[in-house]
Amino acid sequence: MPAKMIHKKLSSSQIILFGFLMVILVGAGLLMLPAAAASGEGTPFLDCLFTSTSAVCVTGLIVHDTATHWSFFGQAVILLLIQIGGMGVITVAVAIAMASGKRITLMQRSTMQDAISAPQVGGIVRFTGFILKGIFLFELLGALALMTVFVPDKGFRGIWLAVFHSISAFCNAGFDLMGTQAPFSSLTSFIQNPVVNVTVMLLIVIGGIGFLTWQDIHRNGLRFSRYRMQSKVILSVTGILILLPALYFFFGEYGGLPFSQRFWASLFQAVTPRTAGFNTSDLTQLSEVGRMVTILLMLVGGSPGSTAGGMKTTTLAVLVSCSVAVFRKRANGHFFGRRIADETVKNAVTVLLMYITLFLTGGMVISAAEGLPLLTCLFESASAVGTVGLSLGITPGLGTLSRLVLIVLMFFGRVGGLTLIFATLPANRNSAAMLPLEKITVG
């Protein structure tokens, strides 16, 4: 009875928030077990909390090399946390309820709607089934493709490597098991391997475009004109945010590499900040401009209702469209012949302000606490709040305060800007009364 009463008092946003928090704490507890570490000794709580948060929030920032510090049991726990975080805590809960034959209540359907950014409650259970089938299909295909590279090289262990990296890539997590070759090396040894590059990039993009976009592609195939406006925007912005940065990295950062490495490294570096966290090149060799481009890509992140975090492609698109409308003295921004609602614009501005505030505050606190260059610390904070996982190598050496800052940023970045705001601020009943209007000059 008390549990039901608590459930009724919590909003959908609060259920999502507490759901992620509970999974993180359980994951940290499992990682503290001696069996989770390769040495057979327990890992300190803060390190486990950091790792669990990074896994559930599908980020990829780590304080211990995943391949060398954790045992097979520890790696399996991390992979399970990644899968839960990528699918979404609520999606997993609904999937378990469906498998057990339990009736899905209206409250659970409403929470599921908020969790995956579905347009309506109707058909949400059927849509959940579609999501689950899609997730396991793509992860299976990705694992089979990676096995063609890992199994000939690593033998039977190559199967585990393929499964781990397929799930990690699809969930946009960025965790890897390549540390046995060199600590924290990620996929640098595969910089020009076409199978690894193409497979990982496709998994990242497919996981990051959102479940509703999958549905549009599944229903309408290549008939782009029949897609929802949101799917059109997501695919268009995703394409632009891959093509333009890839051209920059090709001509501006990797000019010293052979053509094959240069091509794959440029394309991969354009894809991975959105929000995967793998890297095939040494990020410390990027220029300050290259680091700044990467930071901006990390802040944008993926798309709504996907395995990715970040501010979201649609938020960027709405802000750009409304800015263009102001320049052209139009009343509203629009996409593909459809007007953008004022409420959507307000939400986009709020999300932008929240992410910029978290990003700058986190970077400055870490810089002040550690005595490190500000741009380097901003790179780590953008990676955390965008749930990316790319790092310039400073995370393992950070102190307690800085690690706690990154934990908070990762959690906020995965839960989502609006979910966080709606969960923490009290609900305000709309009133028909309006305050007097007075203009204020901006700009």
Check: CB of residue 310 under 8 Å from CB of residue 218.
no
Q: Which of 172, 148, 174 is nearest to 162 (CA)?
A: 148
309: helix, coil or strand? coil
Token representation of residue 246: 């890839």
pLDDT value of residue 128: 80
Among 13-17, 148-152, 231-235, 257-261, the least confident range: 13-17
Judge whether residue 431 has pLDDT over 60: no
How confident is residue 332, by pLDDT bands cut at 50, 70 and 90? Answer: confident
- 148-170: average pLDDT: 93
pLDDT value of residue 47: 95
Q: What is the mean pLDDT of the chain?
A: 86
Q: How far apart are alpha carbons 363 and 373 in whole angstroms? A: 10
Judge whether residue 275 has pLDDT over 90: no
Q: Which of 385, 367, 384 is nearest to 376 (CA)?
A: 367
pLDDT value of residue 101: 65
pLDDT tens for 372-396 read 999 999 999 999 999 898 999 899 9
Judge whether residue 110 has pLDDT over 90: no
One-letter amino acid identity for 286? L
Greater confidence (112 vs 141) lies with: 141
Judge whether residue 55 has pLDDT over 60: yes
pLDDT value of residue 402: 95
Check: CB of residue 32 under 8 Å from CB of residue 48.
yes
Q: Is the peptide bond before 275 cis (omega within 30 degrees of 0)?
A: yes
41: helix, coil or strand? coil
Judge whether residue 1 has pLDDT over 50: no
- 82-87: average pLDDT: 87
pLDDT value of residue 4: 47
Among 33-37, 94-98, 338-342, 352-356, the least confident range: 94-98
Q: How far apart are alpha carbons 243 and 105 in whole angstroms? A: 44
For the chain, give the percent of residues with pLDDT over 70.
Answer: 85
Q: For residue 334, what are the β-bridge partners? A: 339
Q: C-alpha dihedral over 316, 199, 196, 53, to 10 degrees? A: 60
- 1-25: average pLDDT: 68
Q: How far apart are alpha carbons 160 and 78 in whole angstroms? A: 13
Task: For the chain, state the CA radius of gyration.
Answer: 22
- 201-221: average pLDDT: 89
Judge whether residue 260 has pLDDT over 80: yes
Judge whether residue 429 has pLDDT over 90: no
Q: How far apart are alpha carbons 20 and 16 in whole angstroms? A: 6
Q: Which of 178, 80, 174 is nearest to 384 (CA)?
A: 174
How many beta carbons lie within 10 A of that of residue 319, not counting itself? 17
The dihedral sign for the CA sequence 390, 392, 396, 398: negative
